[in-house]
Amino acid sequence: VYGDGLKQLRLEDERIAAPSLLCAEVSHAMTKYVRGGYLTAVEALDCGRDAISLVDDMRDDEDLWAEALTESVRLEHSSYDLFYLVLARREGATLFTVDRKLQDLCARNGVNCIWLEREF
């Protein structure tokens, strides 16, 4: 849904990095769409592949988990989200998300974030 919009915001020579956790999150989301009757299993596989193919550099969660856990406790926020925030902060990158709570967390903690709306 958001892939085309995100591609438009991406600069030509920019690379997209994500924690390897993204694969599990995409799988979980696609399963919910199938169970909810929004996608067939085949469509979910295609959408999942499309989402994961946006990422140029998949970062190993093993390198992120301790800092994500520490920040999750400190900030009282989901550790899943902190994998993305920590990676963006480490790389001096801009985080693209439609998750309003994560957007707010980034703003409060000095992490660059593109504020996307659901209808984007």
* 19 within domain boundaries: yes
Could you read off the pLDDT of 23-74 as tens digits, one per residue? 999 999 999 999 999 999 999 999 999 999 999 999 999 999 999 999 999 9
Q: What is the pTM of this model?
A: 0.86
* 103 within domain boundaries: yes
Quote the number of domains for the chain: 1
Specify the pLDDT at position 81.
Answer: 97
The three state secondary structure string of 21-54 is: HHHHHHHHHHHHHHHCCCCCHHHHHHHHHHHHHC
Burial class of residue 113, CB neighbours in 10 A (0-12, 13-18, 19+): buried
For residue 116, the one-letter residue type is: L
Q: How far apart are CA 71 and CA 62, in angstroms?
A: 15
Helix axes 79-91, 65-75, angle to 10 degrees: 110
* CATH number of the domain residue 44 falls in: 3.40.50.1010
Range of the domain at 22: 3-115
* 70 within domain boundaries: yes
* 43 within domain boundaries: yes
What count of Cα atoms within 13 Å lies in the side-chain half-sphere of residue 52? Answer: 19
Distance of CA 29 to the CA centre of its chain: 12
Average pLDDT, the chain: 91
* 120 within domain boundaries: no
